[in-house]
Structure 1
Amino acid sequence: MDDAEGTGETSPFHAGEQEAQERAGVRDRAERAGGMIRDHMPEQHRDFFAQLETLFVGHVDQQGRPWASLLTGESGFIASDDPTQLQIQADILEGDPLRDSLQEGMDVGLLGLEFHSRRRNRMNGKLHSLRPGAFSVKVAQSFGNCPRFIQTRHLVARTGWRSGKQTRARVIGSAQRRLIEQADTFFIATQFSEGKGEAAEGVDVSHRGGKPGFLRIDGDAQILWPDFRGNALFNTIGNILLNPRCGLLLVDFEGGDLLYMTGQTEVIWEGPEVEAFDAAERLLRFTVEELIHLEDALPVKWEFEAYSRVLEKTGSWE
């Protein structure tokens, strides 16, 4: 890693993140914000993870393809004995690519997100102590994120739940198209590593949100979405600049379906395509290489809080 400009301290950002920050004109701001990135979890983050009933996981399969996955469990399925690690006990869903990816020492990105409070915290690190139904993650980077673009939902138990059929494909079919077009939320996993063992290297998983329709399908294998003004860290885009592979996860919060996709992404920085999206800073174009659609897969669901109620409480749907 390079020294932070003007600080003489080691930057928490790798070259791709720094390039994206520079191009967006937020390099100095990002470096200041980088002070919140730690090599351990503060107590409030440890307590936050321990109360969650869901956890989003970014990982890379044996072919080097990133995926984003979702783990569920009763509150307490995530625990922390010390500030440098999380212990996770969860059964991975049949068909989830994480089942075949798990191995000792692999990089993972974790995102804890509580939809009803719109709180989210991230932790990236290495997996260890792998055993049936459980593993631990050693912290490399730990930091919080603002609640922008998180749609408020309330987690409830499902009744009559059953695991449905699985579909694997290389193009977007009609069932997947409906899920994508109605989505207001998705999760993206990216990865970059030069093998130096630096804290900024590894896997990251992040939330993206917008009003339904912000994901636009082009043909049968491409998806475009706007990138709005955010926290200026550029973890996701920074990784993509150095490694265009990424994984997407869409959740049918009411129906229980999961749509996993992996492929290649390019960043569109300017031009008429960007201008066509209201408030977009830039666009990302994703090309599907493989998708996995698990129908009725989740043992939980979320009740949606209308945009009008969010607007009434916060003054902004964001």
Structure 2
Amino acid sequence: MTPRAPYHHGSRAVQDLVGVRELADHVGRSIGDGIRPVAAAFLELQPMLVIGGADPAGALWASLLTGEPGFVRATGPHQISIAGGLRRADPLAQALAQETQEGNPVGTIALDPRTRRRMRLNGRARPTPRGLAIEADQVFSNCPKYLQKRELPGVAAPGRPAAPRHGVKLTGDQRAFIAEADTFFLATVHAEGADASHRGGNPGFVQVPSPHELTWRDYPGNSMFLSLGNLATDPRAGLLFLDWVTGTTLQLTGTARTEYGDDGTRTVRFTLTEAVETQRASPWSWSPPEYSPANPT
């Protein structure tokens, strides 16, 4: 994996299947391993960061990090630091607290609903006395497609997150929550690293046909097919849903596969292994959304 050749054979296979290899090569030139000044400035304004990786048992999770703006910052041309780290009860906390020679593969995404901007940084994480440090392998931005606009009118709410609730199937309330979601985050992995991405749409774009299964349409994007390419080589996946008003998070781990329709549509089918719900996981309360004009109706 290098800045000029960012795709492994899984992503290449999907690009060829869809017929976008040439476009993917063009877009892939935007992927580097350095953090430019504009990217560093963007990170320091963010009150949250999503991180994806594997727990000690190999299950994949997407987790939420929050703090006052400045808790994530670039500490060099290829490194960011995160103050505070994950909550001790988070499914990824144990893995990211372990010191390894090469670091733990992680994917991160900083998404700013206020400006409909997002930035992804994938690399290797190691614990520090103050939280986490991540050495970047890939740094790039995505277009604002399918990002809902939200404002952050208040200050962080006091109090601590509730104890997480674990389950092996979705409750009725959790299914209803997912069915009304307009945003979630997706963690995937490949042999050389991890990735965290965003999925968005109008409420109902994620369907919950059973307590053990989710499906969603894969909307046209940047043609990189990093997430679907990863799933083509490793079906493990982690999903994160956030209640933007109350701060409750719903983390799901399991496996996912992509179904390709004769009409050119793509549907991802996720099978649940475990769910973790945490009330007040985020101290931030965002405004109601202004839906992206790119969202399919």
TM-score scaled by length of structure 1? 0.86
Residue 161 of structure 1, CA deviation = 4.6
Give the alignment partner of residue 176 of structure 1, picking from 167, 171, 174.
174
297-306 vs 133-142, which moves further: 297-306
Instruction: Indicate if the aligned counterparts of 1:58 and 1:108 stay in contact, CA closer than 8 A.
Output: yes
Q: Indicate the residue corresponding to 2:113 in structure 1.
A: 115
Residue 165 of structure 1, CA deviation = 4.3
Instruction: Indicate if the aligned counterparts of 1:187 and 1:205 stay in contact, CA closer than 8 A.
Output: yes
Q: CA–CA distance in 1 between the matches of 2:29 and 2:4?
A: 11
Q: CA–CA distance in 2 between the matches of 1:223 and 1:23?
A: 24
Residue 317 of structure 1, CA deviation = 5.0
Amino acid at match of 2:133: S
Q: CA–CA distance in 2 between the matches of 1:178 and 1:255?
A: 16
Amino acid at match of 2:40: R
Q: Indicate the residue corresponding to 1:39 in structure 2.
A: 33
Percent sequence identity over aligned pairs: 35
Q: CA–CA distance in 2 between the matches of 1:36 and 1:159?
A: 37
Aligned length: 291
Give the alignment partner of residue 236 of structure 2, picking from 227, 237, 245.
245
For residues 83-118 of structure 1, the C-alpha deviation after alignment (integer angstroms, 9 at most, x for no partner) is: 111011124235321212213310111111111100
Amino acid at match of 2:181: A
Q: CA RMSD in A?
A: 2.0
Q: Indicate the residue corresponding to 1:297 in structure 2.
A: 281
Would the alpha carbon gap of residues 162 and 88 (structure 1) be closer, same or farther in structure 2, given more than 3 Å must change?
closer
Q: CA–CA distance in 2 between the matches of 1:133 and 1:218?
A: 42
| SS of equivalent to 1:127 | strand
Would the alpha carbon gap of residues 184 and 305 (structure 1) be closer, same or farther in structure 2, given more than 3 Å must change?
closer
- Give ranges in structure 2 of 5+ residues lacking alignment: none
For residues 19-70 of structure 1, the C-alpha deviation after alignment (integer angstroms, 9 at most, x for no partner) is: 1111111011101111111011111111111121111101111111111011
**Aligned pairs for 1:148-297 within 5 A:** 148-155=145-152, 156-159=154-157, 161-193=159-191, 201-270=192-261, 281-297=265-281
Amino acid at match of 1:20: V
Q: CA–CA distance in 2 between the matches of 1:99 and 1:19?
A: 33
Q: CA–CA distance in 1 between the matches of 2:38 and 2:161?
A: 35
Amino acid at match of 1:97: P
Higher Rg of the two aligned structures:
1
Q: Indicate the residue corresponding to 1:127 in structure 2.
A: 125
| SS of equivalent to 1:301 | coil
TM-score scaled by length of structure 2? 0.92
